Amino acid sequence: MPEQTLRRTPLYDRHVAAGARIVPFAGWEMPVQYEGIIPEHRAVRSHAGVFDVSHMGQLEIRGAGTIGFLQRALSNDLEKIGKGQAQYTLLLDERGTPIDDLIAYRFADDHVLLVVNASRVDDDREWILDRLPSDVVLDDRSDELAMLALQGPAALELVQLPDLEPFGFTRATVAGVPAIVARTGYTGEPGVELMIEPGRAGELWDALVAAGATPAGLGARDTLRLEVCYPLYGNDLDREHTALEAGLRWVCALDAKDFVGAAALRAQGEVGGYDRLVAFRALDRGVPRQGMPIGPDGTVTSGTMSPSLGIGIGMGYVPAASAMPGTRLEVDVRGRTLPVEVAKKPLYVKEKT
């Protein structure tokens, strides 16, 4: 079979011109780093960084039955949010394992936009299409929207932005470019995600960089999200572990409604004793990586050297008996034993000044 051609975002030429190292990711050619992961990570933690996340998918759900359908299809309770609010949620199968984790943006009772993982767009779309009622339509707008993430403690001050509460969103003009502006992100820092026409992406990118945002790649995005224990689909979330095992009971409205996978999760919750996705810190020099064994019966799902903490950190699935914070475990780092300690999430908490 011929190799699949990798796609490029509207900002590809700018990434190359800026000296970015380009890597394949979820079917796209994406910048993994510019100056380097550590300086980009620190720029986001200390000031502001801008990420090209145009590879993400956007599925628009419209029609009179939109909310009713999504209440059955998604794990979280959309009735808890109103117009102009967004919500983190899961698309589950009947076994309670995630098909995807995503953010739902409620524009109106008959209009919701789902921003989904790049690697899951096709599966999400087909799953939804197979179940759409007659009064709901799906429009895949992934090719019609580019997306930038402006993140960091100074992010909200670099350019004029609408005043929004976390997980609020609105339409506004940013640096002269019409955008959907959302107070969401994947770094643990304040910031916004901006959805715009692809043809205007370069203009907005240039304006944010000129205002002081540091271009940041996938490498820093990964270290930032892991420090605050945000799960990554394909690493920490998969079709082998349920939402309860992944520690995402809080986005499953099991007490409020029925949804696909709810029965399986309720049954698992009653039985208990299931594996848990835990966070851990290294107690010695060494860097845990995905796939490494955690003794006695666990596996690392994500691991890195934390630029903020200066130690190896990670997440992984372990038996329930090994999941309590403070539990000492061992990671097999290519034949060398690395002692680690299960820790409370998030691993990184910014000191208040």
Q: How far is CA 320 from the centre of its chain?
A: 25
Contact 172, 162 (CB under 8 A): yes
345/281 same-domain check: yes
The enclosing H or E element of 125 equals helix 121-129
Q: Strand, helix or coil at 4?
A: coil
DSSP sequence for 334-348: TTEEEEEEEEPSPS-
Q: Say yes or no: 49 and 164 in one domain.
A: yes
268 within some domain: no
- Strands 85-92 and 98-108 come out as antiparallel
Q: Look up the domain containing 283 and give its range.
A: 275-353
285 and 350 in a single domain? The answer is yes
Task: Give the separation between CA 260 and CA 207, rounded to whole angstroms.
Answer: 43
Q: Which of 123, 74, 77 is nearest to 102 (CA)?
A: 74
The single-letter DSSP state of residue 251 is: G
Domain stop point among 192, 209, 227 = 227
Extract the residue ranges of the chain whose pLDDT is less than 70.
1-3, 353
What pLDDT does 324 receive?
98
DSSP code, position 283: S
- Domain with residue 347: its CATH number is 2.40.30.110
Looking at residue 1, what is its pLDDT?
Answer: 44
289, part of any domain: yes
Q: Are residues 205 and 312 in the same domain?
A: no
User: What is the per-residue pLDDT across 100-145, written as a single tens digit (0 to 9) for each?
Assistant: 999 999 999 999 999 999 999 999 999 999 999 999 999 999 999 9
Residue type present at position 349: V
Contact yes or no for 192/165 (Cβ under 8 A): no
Residue 305 lies in a domain: yes
Rounded distance between C-alpha atoms, residue 227 and residue 225, angstroms:
6
Partners of 28 in the β-ladder: 7, 25
Q: What is the pLDDT of residue 258?
A: 97
| Domain final residue, candidates 193, 227, 261 | 227
Two tokens, residue 96: 């309670």
Let me know if residue 119 belongs to a domain: no
Instruction: Judge whether 223 lies within some domain.
Output: yes
Number of domains in the chain: 2
Based on the fold, state whether residues 220 and 319 are members of the same structural domain: no
Whether 214 and 332 share a structural domain: no
26 and 152, same domain (yes or no): yes
Beta bridge partners of 342: 280
Nearest-angstrom CA–CA distance, 289 and 127: 32
d(CA 140, CA 114): 10
Domain end, chosen from 212, 227, 242, is at 227
The CATH number that applies at residue 24 is 3.30.1360.120
Is residue 245, in this structure, part of any structural domain at all?
no
**Interstrand relation of 146-151 and 49-52 (parallel, antiparallel or unpaired):** antiparallel
Considering the domain architecture, whether residues 190 and 328 belong to the same structural domain is answered as no
Give pLDDT, residue 350: 86
Contacting residues for 142 by C-beta, under 8 A, at least 6 apart: 56, 57, 58, 59, 121
Asked if residue 192 belongs to a domain, the reply is yes
Question: Rg for the chain (alpha carbons), in Å?
Answer: 20
Is 161 part of any domain?
yes
Q: For 258, which DSSP code?
A: -
The verdict on 153 and 218 lying in the same domain is yes
For 13-28, letters b (16+ CB in 10 Å) and e give ebbeeeebebeebbeb
Looking at the fold, whether 174 and 282 belong to one and the same domain comes out as: no
